[in-house]
Amino acid sequence: MKKVIKIKGYIFIIMVIITICTVGCFIWQTGVFFIELVSDPVSLSSDVKVEAENEKEVLNLDEIQFFTCQVGLFKEKDNADKLVAYLEQKGQKAQIIQDKLAIVVVGFCFSKNDAEELGSKLKQDGIDNVVKNMSYSASCYKVGGNEKEIITNLLKIANLILTDKDYQEIINNLPGGTDFFLKDNVPDGFEKLSGALEGQLSVCEENQTDKVVGNSDLLLLYIEYSKLIHN
């Protein structure tokens, strides 16, 4: 009788062990399936990102060198804004070149002589200034997406103007003529750059010049260009 009870006990223990193993195996398989289910979208997302990265075009932009008249240097941008407003009342279009300090400048000139001539005129109007040689280093800008072509053209043309290229070379790089600047075609964030470009090319066409003339509007073009490249 005791032997029968003992055998039944062993059988019960064995059945419990088998049941535990079966349940454990089921839980493990379920876990593996869940991990694969969760990881698949991540893998797919990574593949999409890699593919999108590969579709980007690297745009090589030349270094920009120019001369300008520095009329103020401030720690607080509010003070720089006040000076810009004051100069506007005196008929001067100043801009703030934001760095660690807010630098207020007037004019964009390709030669030091032109900048010194501008500086002399400013001093005659009671505006103290110092001629500065400034530069924006050569850049590699990645462009992708559906608007890749128009962004590439906007930045290329802006760089040609700001590096003092021949007017004819700029026109040769302008796709579609003036229709290129239609507002409906301009990507978000590039409206100001497009407007500044259109204004500069209009000045060139009116004056029939071989070179783009350095002026306050050219300085505005530089500001908008440098913001986009920096971002």
68 pairs with which residues across the strands? 132
Find all residues with CB under 8 Å of 66, minimum gap 6, and list them: 108, 109, 110, 133, 134, 135, 162, 214, 222
What one-character-per-residue DSSP string does 111-173 give?
Answer: SHHHHHHHHHHHHHTT---EEEEEEE--EEEEE-STTHHHHHHHHHHHHHHHTT--HHHHHHT
Structure letter (DSSP) for residue 189: T
Give the structural domain span for 123.
58-230
Burial class (CB in 10 A: 0-12, 13-18, 19+), 84: buried
How far apart, in whole angstroms, are the C-alpha atoms of residue 198 and residue 180?
9
State whether 190 and 116 are in the same domain: yes
Tell me the whole-structure pTM to 2 decimals: 0.70
State whether 107 and 49 are in the same domain: no
| Sequential pLDDT tens for the chain (231 residues) | 544 455 555 566 666 566 665 655 555 555 444 444 444 444 434 444 444 445 778 889 999 999 999 999 999 999 999 999 999 998 899 999 877 899 999 999 999 999 999 999 999 999 999 999 999 999 888 888 888 888 888 898 899 889 988 877 777 776 666 566 665 678 888 999 988 888 777 766 665 554 444 478 889 999 999 989 977
How far apart, in whole angstroms, are the C-alpha atoms of residue 5 and residue 24?
29
State whether 121 and 33 are in the same domain: no
Tracing tokens 């790089």 back to the chain, one arrives at 173
CA-angle at 9, arms to 3 and 15, nearest 5°: 140
State whether 101 and 188 are in the same domain: yes
We report the CATH number of the domain holding residue 91 as 3.30.70.1070
